[in-house]
Structure 1
Amino acid sequence: MPGAFALVQASQGGKAPDLPRATGVSASAPLAALFEKYWDEQASLFPFAATAQGDSRYNDQLPNDQTRAFRQQQQRFYQQYLTSLQKFDRAKLSAEDQVSYDVFRYQLETSLEGQQLKLQRWLMPFGQTGGLPQAMAQFGSGMAAQPFKTAKDYDNWLSRVHGFTAWTDSAIANFRQGMASGVVLPKALVVKMIPQLEAMIVSDPAKSLFYGPTTKLPATLPAADKTRLTNAYQQAILTELVPAFQKLSSFLKNEYLPKARTTSGFGDLPNGPEAYRYAVKYSTTTAKTPEEIYQTGLSEVKRLRTELEAVKKQVGFQGDLPAFFAYMKNEPKFRPYKTPQEVLDGFEAIHQRMAPNLKKMFGRTPKTPFEVRQTEAYRAASASAQYMAGSPDGSRAGVFYVPILDATQYNVTSLPPMEDMFLHEAIPGHHYQISLQNENTALPKFRRFGGYSAFSEGWALYCESLGKELGLYTDPYQYAGSLGGEIHRAIRLVVDVGLHAKGMTREEAIKYMMDNEVISEQLATAEVERYMSNPGQALSYKIGQLKILEWRARYEKQLGKKFDLRAFHDELLAGGAMPLAVAERRMDAWAARQK
């Protein structure tokens, strides 16, 4: 989730981790069958996700998820499987089946709880950071998960396009229903959505992002197929895609924007406080209250500012912390690049510096290849750095997308600092965690391809703390950048809760960020607007990281000389992402086995 560089291939050797185990009890065949049936059915409900996971059965489908019938179908689906799961006696299952049982139950119950909320999120069908219009652009560009290798692949995408017109009409109807009930997006977000949609409106189909796949038609295709598909793509762009994006952009500009709200957070919406509490629970997989998380954020910001003061003193900078931030942000030596490719090459240099130390910390590494790409121009202005998983069979690389608006202004120490960002988004962060999970065929598919932000983002943020052990952060300014990256996640606890539960405005949130970290106003704005659009998600990073650090400290103390950091990392990644409480029980059992 494009200049590419080095591929990370096979394992770097060492002791393999403990994989999911049955601890002497046979795995439950009926439970495994239930999981398999669930996975098959949910793939048809969510075919875009199936495509992203390498399941090609539904590559031609685009269900209209904006209808009441679809929402009712979802609810029946989750309830049916929860009822079936509850017929199993958990106590009689193997240890790893108990983990799967717990993850599955949590997933189903949390999904059902979300559908019972009085604040219906479907009244705001998409935002500036995500939704079907953005997914259509990514998948249809030929640069993402949608395959374009055979004539059938090309026809599959055309079938998906045919469903986008109906989706557009339903989304507009839901936006209008939200306008009538006072459930609308903030104006600050809507003004960012309109240009994204307008970028898809062209009069020449060859200038459309969706025309990309036709410029790369496989040489093995017969000439008649090439002509047919080229004509069909031109027709689909001009008669289906462009009109749909035009309709959405005109509606937002002329009808919705005047009715959009001037407030920033969920707390200002009808039943918003309840919806935000659920968002906090969903994103953190904990029972922590918004106020608890806010106080944790304040405490972490204070701690990290103290550490930044120490680095400032180490480099002999005269001036206060805001002046130090300004120096790191504005000093020309921290902007060494002239072209986007030089930025991408800079990430490869980071990879090469730490590569020798990875084998000391990981016994198992992914087979899935990896690359870094520049974020596409149409979405770069409002995008953050992002990882998109590769395919489980390794045929499609995992991709780390880097927004580069102006390479000459790309700051290596300012947020996001380069070494820090590579550890998080690439190696050993998201690429290791997600790829190892997807490659682990011992897991049921809902665990192989499922995800919990508190675990995966917590892991990625934890990986930032491994920089010195991996041979990075030797430059004090890069280490200051790392501390800045961590304080950024601590600030999120303050700002996300502040926006949605404590009346903080967009402008106040931007100022708080700029006062407490090295960040440009443009990036602070994009970050705050991301939190406005996706309440609670930004909390998952710091909450998950703190929990993983807690586990590591606990097991180091419990096991003493028996503690093996590589084994700890391998075991943590072997089970895949899961709710933090379930992961904790699993890791406690691992520590007990080490004794």
Structure 2
Amino acid sequence: MHKFLTPSLLICALSACSAGSPQIQNPASASNAITTSQSQTSPISPALQAIIDQSWQLQLSASPEMAYSMGDKSAAGKLQDLSPEALTKLNQGQIAVLTQLKALERSRLSKEDRINAQILEDQIQNDVDLYKYKDYYLPITAESGFHAYISSIAQARFNTLEDYQNYIGKLKALPTYFAQQTHWLKQGLAEGITPPKATLTGFENSISAYIVPVEKSSYFKPFTQYPSYFTAAQKAQLTQEGRALVSKNVLPAYQSFYDFMTREYMPNARENIAASSLPSGKAFYENRVRYYTTLNMTSTQVHELGLKEVKRIRQEMEQVIASVGFKGNFADFLHFLRTDPQFYTTSADQLLKEAAFIAKKADAMLPRYFGKLPRQPYGIAPVPAEIAPKYTSGRYSGSNRDDEPGYYWVNTYALDKRPLYELEALTLHEAVPGHHLQISLNSELTSLPDFRRYGYISAFGEGWGLYSEYLGLEAGFYQDPYSNFGRLTYEMWRAARLVVDTGMHAQGWSREQAIDFMASNTALSLHNVTTEIDRYITWPGQALSYKIGELTIKRLRAKAQQELGDKFDIRAFHDAVLENGSVPMRILEEQIDGFIATQKAKP
């Protein structure tokens, strides 16, 4: 998941839509979705439904994109209002809803409604917490920021005059949007709430990539390709208006932002990398640990678990090294993997084709392991060039339409840093049976209320992604020992995250110490190690989701296998994990306990 989501909503996946993270599909009945969220099979209690509806309206009011996709025509052509007044109003509304929710008599609710209430409370509490800790001062991370994600407005479908008029409205609103975001960056600078200076090296390149001649701007592209039925006069008028807006609104906004970042913000960003060094930083980080693990864990407990997992995985890695007859120590083997040309492609197309081949093999494994598969297909595309240099190796980008695919993004920047031995694990995680499968099935659960259909719980989603990498081992992937080492290095990567994230943010580790730990325990390229460490620094706690979620799913599977014996069915187990969408780990445990009881009762 990505941090730039509208509060609590899975509006745009790791991705292209607005925030670089999981996306939505259009609901079956958009007009109804504006006034009330979807109903579950057994009706939600009136008291809880009223709270859900109130919360949903708050979310829609905060996101014109979401509201418009749900059928609210009045939201067309608007961008999110990030003014102090708007954010204060949203926060006050969320506190009011949270108060009602906490006062609700849960003992009178059905089991399903208790789950709804708990997940909604977790979502709203997180939004309230982030406002309290002034997270809105940080609309950028080491990877990218609002300036890159907002460019996705140019990637919408343009089929009608209305589509172009809505887009023109957004281009007109863009200077205000940039000014509001810059206002919060200035507030953060004044109060010492900024990304650390070390993580912003090269950040200006992600801005200058948009400062180009009008005709080369991605914002102008919609005005170069019109539907065939548009008249010559319509095309001429739209092109003229589009060129003027890109020239007078878009490019100056990026230039002004570039000047501010390079002259004022980046030189004066904070030096200390730890979240605990921020105002109320220790409490903030422990809050992030609980949120991203969905468990009542402390940073110390997470750190110790990470060290234990690193030790276990390291032993498996040593066994693989011995199996290939490599002469040298662990560090020598890592150097070999990072530098030998046999492990790297020489063209972007070659890397994409290899990823596509693995993805197609992964598609074929699905019927053996899942009873229910999603309707939506997925494609493979490169990470957008504007953000690729500081971006991670790959991501899943879902679609917000039911007539479009999701996409598995592969980073084709710096090909000598994108090893093939990692590609099987990456593909299984981001495509299937990982994020695409899980997120697409989630969006098809029309019986769930919308805040759950379009929500994303990181421990569940990222835990499932990492579990999917492991599942490939059972499905016959990783036959090449180097690819299996790639799988282990990916698992080690996630285990090391538990160590370095808590180390940097709670235990005084330096950036260099974290880089050294990651580099000496994984086969990730040094470029990837550095970009990953900077990601953890500017997104505290999120990296803990993966291993905590995966270990929970593995533990629950082992429990089911032990208790069910011959009655255990892997397809039924996976369907049971995914059947209620994205849920906290404590609720998943209850869910699987119910599955075990049901299976035991069968003849």
TM normalised by structure 2 equals 0.88
Alpha carbons 2:210, 2:254 under 8 Å: kept: yes
Matches within 5 A, 1:345-364: 345-364=353-372
Which amino acid is 1:539 matched to?
L
Question: Is 1:368 matched with 2:376?
Answer: yes
Distance between the aligned counterparts of 1:563 and 1:252, measured in 2?
Answer: 57
- Point out where structure 1 has 5 or more consecutive residues left out of the alignment: 3-19
Q: 1:580 aligns with which of 582, 585, 594?
A: 585
Q: 1:138 aligns with which of 152, 156, 179?
A: 152
Q: 2:195 aligns with which of 164, 185, 209?
A: 185
Q: Per the alignment, do residues 57 and 525 of structure 1 end up closer, same or farther by CA in structure 2, a change over 3 Å counting? A: farther
Matches within 5 A, 1:83-102: 83-86=99-102, 88-102=104-118
Distance between the aligned counterparts of 1:359 and 1:53, measured in 2?
Answer: 33
Deviations 1:51-94 (A, max 9, x none): 688987634221232x3212211222212323443564433333
SS at match of 2:201: helix
| Number of the residue aligned with 2:561 | 556
SS at match of 2:210: coil
Question: Is 1:339 matched with 2:347?
Answer: yes
> Which moves more between the two structures, 218-227 or 320-329?
218-227
Q: 1:418 aligns with which of 408, 415, 423?
A: 423
Does 1 or 2 have the higher relative contact order (CA < 8 Å, sep 6+)?
A: 1
Instruction: Give the C-alpha shift of residue 267 in structure 1.
Output: 2.1
Alpha carbons 2:362, 2:432 under 8 Å: kept: no
Which amino acid is 2:115 matched to?
V
Distance between the aligned counterparts of 2:146 and 2:296, measured in 1?
Answer: 31
SS at match of 2:409: strand
Which amino acid is 1:387 matched to?
Y
Distance between the aligned counterparts of 1:105 and 1:570, measured in 2?
Answer: 26
Instruction: Give the C-alpha shift of residue 540 in structure 1.
Output: 0.6
SS at match of 1:442: coil
Alpha carbons 1:36, 1:445 under 8 Å: kept: no
Which amino acid is 1:162 matched to?
K
> Which moves more between the two structures, 41-50 or 535-544?
41-50
Distance between the aligned counterparts of 1:52 and 1:315, measured in 2?
Answer: 53
> Which moves more between the two structures, 502-511 or 231-240?
502-511
| Number of the residue aligned with 1:6 | none
Instruction: Give the C-alpha shift of residue 471 in structure 1.
Output: 1.9
Q: 2:45 aligns with which of 15, 23, 28?
A: 28
| Number of the residue aligned with 2:308 | 299
Distance between the aligned counterparts of 2:65 and 2:486, measured in 1?
Answer: 36
| Number of the residue aligned with 1:9 | none
| Number of the residue aligned with 1:433 | 438
Distance between the aligned counterparts of 2:70 and 2:492, measured in 1?
Answer: 33
Distance between the aligned counterparts of 1:79 and 1:230, measured in 2?
Answer: 45
Question: Is 1:121 matched with 2:138?
Answer: no
Instruction: Give the C-alpha shift of residue 535 in structure 1.
Output: 0.9
Q: Per the alignment, do residues 74 and 507 of structure 1 end up closer, same or farther by CA in structure 2, a change over 3 Å counting? A: same
| Number of the residue aligned with 2:8 | none
Which amino acid is 2:336 matched to?
Y
Matches within 5 A, 1:124-203: 124-140=138-154, 142=155, 146-202=156-212
Alpha carbons 1:392, 1:439 under 8 Å: kept: no
Alpha carbons 2:275, 2:506 under 8 Å: kept: yes
Instruction: Give the C-alpha shift of residue 150 in structure 1.
Output: 1.7
Q: Per the alignment, do residues 64 and 101 of structure 1 end up closer, same or farther by CA in structure 2, a change over 3 Å counting? A: same
RMSD: 2.2
Which amino acid is 1:173 matched to?
H
How many positions carry a matched residue from both structures? 563
| Number of the residue aligned with 2:409 | 401
- Point out where structure 2 has 5 or more consecutive residues left out of the alignment: 1-14, 17-38
Q: Per the alignment, do residues 513 and 87 of structure 1 end up closer, same or farther by CA in structure 2, a change over 3 Å counting? A: closer
Alpha carbons 2:223, 2:239 under 8 Å: kept: yes
Q: Per the alignment, do residues 93 and 409 of structure 1 end up closer, same or farther by CA in structure 2, a change over 3 Å counting? A: closer
> Which moves more between the two structures, 568-577 or 323-332?
323-332
Q: Per the alignment, do residues 538 and 53 of structure 1 end up closer, same or farther by CA in structure 2, a change over 3 Å counting? A: farther
Matches within 5 A, 1:482-521: 482-521=487-526
> Which moves more between the two structures, 421-430 or 512-521?
512-521
Q: Per the alignment, do residues 83 and 186 of structure 1 end up closer, same or farther by CA in structure 2, a change over 3 Å counting? A: closer
Distance between the aligned counterparts of 2:577 and 2:111, measured in 1?
Answer: 15
Sequence identity of aligned pairs in percent? 34
Instruction: Give the C-alpha shift of residue 186 in structure 1.
Output: 1.5
Instruction: Give the C-alpha shift of residue 161 in structure 1.
Output: 2.4
SS at match of 1:360: helix
Q: 2:476 aligns with which of 461, 471, 481?
A: 471
| Number of the residue aligned with 1:58 | 75
TM normalised by structure 1 equals 0.90
| Number of the residue aligned with 2:222 | 213
| Number of the residue aligned with 1:523 | 528
Deviations 1:120-157 (A, max 9, x none): 223333234243212112332x2xxx332222112212
Alpha carbons 1:464, 1:482 under 8 Å: kept: yes
Which amino acid is 1:125 matched to?
P
Distance between the aligned counterparts of 2:591 and 2:98, measured in 1?
Answer: 22
Distance between the aligned counterparts of 1:77 and 1:184, measured in 2?
Answer: 27
Alpha carbons 2:142, 2:195 under 8 Å: kept: no
Matches within 5 A, 1:27-46: 27-28=44-45, 31-32=48-49, 34-46=51-63
Which amino acid is 2:81 matched to?
N
Which amino acid is 1:211 matched to?
F
Q: 2:387 aligns with which of 369, 375, 379?
A: 379
Distance between the aligned counterparts of 2:70 and 2:523, measured in 1?
Answer: 36
Instruction: Give the C-alpha shift of residue 225 in structure 1.
Output: 2.2
SS at match of 1:400: strand
Which amino acid is 1:491 matched to?
A
SS at match of 1:378: coil
Question: Is 1:447 matched with 2:463?
Answer: no
| Number of the residue aligned with 2:86 | 70
